[in-house]
Structure 1
Amino acid sequence: MDKRALITGVTGQDGAYLAKLLIEKGYEVYGTFRRVSTPNFWRLQYLGIVDRVNFIPCEMTDMSSMVAALKIAEPDEVYHLAAMSFVGASFENPIATLDINTIGTAIILEAVRQICPNAKVYIAATSEIYGATGHEVKRPLSEEDFFKPLSPYAVSKLAAYWLGRIYREAYDMYVVNGILFNHESPLRGLEFVTRKISNEVAKISLGLSKELRLGNIEAKRDWGYAPEYVYGMWLMLQQKEPDDFILATREAHSIKEFIIKVFEVVGIDEWKKYVFIDKKLFRPLDVPCLVGDYSKAEKKLGWRPQVKFDELVKIMVEEDLKRWEKWLNGERFPWDAPLYPSEMKILSKVIRA
């Protein structure tokens, strides 16, 4: 019998890539989405798998809704990816961030414990939980390093991390925390700095834009390729015993380096002519540097990153160039016109929880 998986946040970057991976491995995939949000299935359409996912409308902060979703999906594996995941927005709306990321995680863990306690659960943690530690220790971070969060988002995710560990130890459940450092792709949302840069520079190169406005470009991050990271998620749930793992590249690059490389790809040398620093885009608190050590994942999972920084940048900006070139020829794209006519057909077919 094929395995069954439930993915919360299936319409996001990671959810879409993970759904594709699981479908290719023969899983029956169920995915949740919010009833109250604007329908947005473009990533799944873009990957050509939208007809292979069983959609369940579900509110992450509603216990009865999550229980109903689990009863429908009857999952062997649960991947909890749904979250408010934009760090900057968490300063503007900390209560909603904590509600969705922390309470939502508590609800899904408790619902699994009650409905399908033998299901394996993946909790999406984040490198942001380390916060200031990355700058203080000045080396790649391991699973043993201490946490010092610097944003409401990081606090919400750290609480979710500890909930995962508590449910694993107190209730003998198979729960893992994937501490993923930044991972990007052409499916990344435009609110994230890497896609903002690749998209805007593509427009600049085609004469569609004249400037790129950014905040702190000195911050350094460990950037990997999202499809490789969702494979790591899957590997974490294939082990005999649950554990927590970092997925990273061991390389730190500044936002400034990302900018320079993107302009190189499109053949523009004078990047400073187009980039403007806007103090309004600075965060109240920012993490200077985050870089992770994936040694444990390499040793126990056999996982290691393959796509390097330069290749990642090239993948992203070339895809944005293609999208805008097609747009100039009259084609519509998902990030520009998120409501495809077919999305209403999708909504009419969803499994009602």
Structure 2
Amino acid sequence: MSTVRVLVTGASGQDGSYLVERLLAEGAEIHALVRQGEEPGAGVHPLPVEVHQHEGDLRDGAALEALVAEVAPTELYNLGGLSSVALSWQEPALTAQISGLAVGHLLQAAHDLQERSGRPVSFVQASSAEIFARTSRIPQDETTPLRPLSPYGAAKAYAHHLVGVYRAQGLRASSCVLYNHESPRRPETFVTRKITAGVARIARGLQDGLAMGNLDARRDWGWAPDYVRAMVLAARADRGRDYVVATGVSHSVRDFVEAAFRAAGIDDWERHVTLDARFVRPNDAPELVGDATRARELLGWQPEVGFEEVVARMVRHDLALLDGEG
């Protein structure tokens, strides 16, 4: 059996780092698009030495197409792009360019490669539940109309539609609509890691309180490696499809905060939390919860790590960092 050759964008992010580790364990040959001068730090994880790194920029469409032609992958995972909804309001054009237009270049290049080589190319787009943010349908599934609320959601919706367009042209292209998924590899710019890192510091007496925005927003939170597994299964399926990847259970931000304090052994959590209007988003979807029936039935996928354990693992990690064990 020939070695699977994989190209990954966003390989140094949370999902990309877990994906690279998983595929390396399978014996895949991995190529990664990396930004010039990218240094490990907040949200950027060092790539294993076995990974072939290619410097590039998602804003350079011609270079993206050339890279796909050069690598000639059997599987292409697009995890790159701006991952912050809040930042997309500050940089809407940049968000559209790297989370929307870049996907078109990658899809076209994958389709050209498939036509030229005569072999199937699997393309997986990491989409987002934010494409459904304005919907009143609960839960959401693959038939839910796309109604984004932010520049981030709009760019992801455009890319999601493009996947369908190229799938109709014969490309084995799948869009995995990923609901919120967390791990210790999240940077503290994400509210979930802000919570667990803050709670750890409070537990160790290094911080007095935790300033939060909207505690009532509800999300469907899962474990990042579970969601990476879903993307690999989608790439290996008989044909491309759209898949909602979610736990099917929603929790409020308040639930997340309470679970984090509980994991750190603090029961009277409310006295440590203050509300700060600076952290309230102007447009925030009230509840996003996904129905992953299709992924379960067609891919055999289901989440393995529950909400409480996701939060507890993050808190334990942040406590270990403070204790010098991380």
What interval of TM-score do these two structures reach, taking the shorter chain for normalisation?
over 0.9
Instruction: Tell me how far 1:113 sits from its aligned partner.
Output: 2.5
Specify which of 62, 65, 72 is matched with residue 63 of structure 2. 65
Kindly provide the CA deviation profile for residues 210-236 of structure 1, in whole angstroms up to 9, marking residues without a partner as x: 121121111000000000110100000
CA contact (8 A) 2:114 2:171 kept: no
Q: Secondary structure at the match of 2:49?
A: helix
1:232 aligns with 2:233: no
Question: 1:195/1:42 Cα in 2 relative to 1: closer, same or farther (>3 Å)?
Answer: closer
- Partners of 1:295 and 1:78 in 2: how far apart? 24
The one-letter amino acid of 1:126's match is S
The one-letter amino acid of 1:18's match is L
Specify which of 122, 125, 135 is matched with residue 123 of structure 1. 125
1:24 aligns with 2:21: no
Q: Specify every segment of 5 or more residues in structure 2 that has no aligned partner in the other structure, as ranges.
A: none
CA contact (8 A) 1:60 1:108 kept: no
CA contact (8 A) 1:5 1:76 kept: yes
- Partners of 1:299 and 1:123 in 2: how far apart? 20
- Of residues 36-45 and 307-316 in structure 1, the stretch that sits farther from structure 2 once superposed is 36-45
Instruction: Tell me how far 1:36 sits from its aligned partner.
Output: 5.6
- Partners of 2:37 and 2:92 in 1: how far apart? 20
- Partners of 2:121 and 2:40 in 1: how far apart? 28
Instruction: Tell me how far 1:40 sits from its aligned partner.
Output: 4.7
Residue number in structure 1 paired with 2:10: 9
Q: Matched residues, percent identical?
A: 35
Residue number in structure 1 paired with 2:321: 323
Residue number in structure 2 paired with 1:259: 257
- Partners of 1:39 and 1:20 in 2: how far apart? 16
**CA RMSD in angstroms, aligned pairs only:** 1.7
CA contact (8 A) 1:11 1:41 kept: no
Q: Secondary structure at the match of 2:324?
A: helix
Instruction: Tell me how far 1:114 sits from its aligned partner.
Output: 2.8
Residue number in structure 1 paired with 2:205: 207
Instruction: Tell me how far 1:272 sits from its aligned partner.
Output: 1.9
Instruction: Tell me how far 1:15 sits from its aligned partner.
Output: 0.3
Question: 1:306/1:27 Cα in 2 relative to 1: closer, same or farther (>3 Å)?
Answer: same
Residue number in structure 2 paired with 1:166: 165
- Partners of 1:40 and 1:2 in 2: how far apart? 31
Instruction: Tell me how far 1:44 sits from its aligned partner.
Output: 4.6
Q: How many residues align?
A: 321
Instruction: Tell me how far 1:73 sits from its aligned partner.
Output: 2.2
- Partners of 1:41 and 1:10 in 2: how far apart? 14
Greater relative CO, 1 or 2 (CA 8 Å, sep 6+): 1
CA contact (8 A) 2:82 2:99 kept: yes
Q: Specify every segment of 5 or more residues in structure 1 that has no aligned partner in the other structure, as ranges.
A: 328-332, 334-353
- Partners of 1:132 and 1:67 in 2: how far apart? 34
Kindly provide the CA deviation profile for residues 128-155 of structure 1, in whole angstroms up to 9, marking residues without a partner as x: 100121xx22x32111111211111000
The one-letter amino acid of 2:141's match is S
Question: 1:21/1:95 Cα in 2 relative to 1: closer, same or farther (>3 Å)?
Answer: same
Q: Secondary structure at the match of 1:161?
A: helix
4+ long deviations beyond 6 Å: none
- Partners of 1:119 and 1:258 in 2: how far apart? 39
Residue number in structure 1 paired with 2:184: 186
Q: Secondary structure at the match of 2:323?
A: helix
Residue number in structure 2 paired with 1:275: 273
CA contact (8 A) 2:43 2:187 kept: no
Residue number in structure 2 paired with 1:146: 145
Instruction: Tell me how far 1:52 sits from its aligned partner.
Output: 1.9
Q: Secondary structure at the match of 1:50?
A: coil
Instruction: Tell me how far 1:41 sits from its aligned partner.
Output: 9.5
Residue number in structure 1 paired with 2:48: 50
Question: 1:235/1:119 Cα in 2 relative to 1: closer, same or farther (>3 Å)?
Answer: same
Instruction: Tell me how far 1:39 sits from its aligned partner.
Output: 5.1
The one-letter amino acid of 2:260's match is V
TM-score (norm 2): 0.94
Residue number in structure 2 paired with 1:35: 36
CA contact (8 A) 2:88 2:152 kept: yes
The one-letter amino acid of 2:50's match is R
Residue number in structure 2 paired with 1:340: none
Q: Secondary structure at the match of 2:215?
A: coil
